A and B are shown apart, each in its own frame.
Chain A
């Protein structure tokens, strides 16, 4: 079974707008990562946040982590058509357990 669950399942926004998607997970984690997948392709790592961190930024991306609520959010600011993709959160459960458990993803469509 998958650990994470993204919300919403799909999101359609206008270019220039911000996109926010959320991830909830079930068990305590060591780290949480966000990946992007363009249609039919492999995944690209976006950002990693550790369980003792609350917020991280990378370019137009902002990730928050609330371990008390077992949830994370990914914000993409000033979206571009190239941001059209599926976004997945993935959790690493323990420091010596390297596999990732992915959610079902949020499909983001950015309209020009």
Chain B
């Protein structure tokens, strides 16, 4: 399968624990995005990478959140000291860079559903 993959698909954790999610983008895509989606809402942008560089972070991304993309391939999103308000679907997406177009469709993974008890 050459789509975007995310692991784990579901994560249940207790408040205060740390969690880490992984995203594997489509291999030739050099842009990678993280979004968060709560029930009944659309996705909200968290951060994005171009290759290994993290180019933008939303104000939604508190100090407890950190994202990395070593070597410009897969990415991880870590949440430290989880809170009940962190319960959401965390979506990863990737897109290619095409010299003729400055905007592209994004290809989304299936998401990781986080439940904080």
Other-chain contact of A98, B48, B91, B107, B113 (Cβ < 8 Å):
B48
- List of A residues within 8 angstroms of B89 by Cβ: 40
- List of A residues within 8 angstroms of B103 by Cβ: 30-31, 48, 50, 92, 95, 98
Tell me how many residues of B have a C-beta within 8 Å of chain A.
Answer: 27
A30–chain B nearest beta-carbon distance, Å: 6
B110 and A99 contacting across the interface, CB-CB below 8 Å: no
B99–chain A nearest beta-carbon distance, Å: 13
Given contacts A42-B91, A105-B42, contact A98 B31 (CB under 8 A): yes
Produce 1/0 per residue, A11-41, CB < 8 A to B. 0000000000000000000110101000011
A101 and B45 contacting across the interface, CB-CB below 8 Å: yes
Tell me how many residues of A have a C-beta within 8 Å of chain B.
Answer: 27
- List of A residues within 8 angstroms of B109 by Cβ: 42
Is B33's CB within 8 Å of the partner chain A?
Answer: yes
Give B8-54 interface residues, CB cut-off 8 Å to A.
31, 33, 35, 40-45, 48
In the complex, which residue of chain A has the Cβ closest to the Cβ of B34? A99
B42 and A102 contacting across the interface, CB-CB below 8 Å: yes
Given contacts A98-B31, A100-B45, A104-B41, contact A43 B95 (CB under 8 A): no
Residues of chain B at the chain A interface (Cβ within 8 Å): 4, 31, 33, 35, 40-45, 48, 56, 89, 91, 93, 95, 102-111, 113
Instruction: Using A43-B93, A100-B45 as known contacts, list a sample of 7 further A-B pairs with CB atoms less than 8 Å apart, ordered by residue number in A.
Output: A2-B44, A30-B102, A42-B109, A92-B103, A98-B31, A98-B48, A104-B41
Residues of chain A at the chain B interface (Cβ within 8 Å): 2, 4, 30-31, 33, 35, 40-45, 48, 50, 88, 90, 92, 95-96, 98-105
Q: Can you list 12 A-B contacts with CB-CB less than 8 angstroms, sorted by A residue number?
A: A2-B41, A30-B102, A33-B105, A42-B4, A44-B108, A45-B105, A95-B103, A98-B48, A100-B33, A102-B43, A102-B44, A105-B41
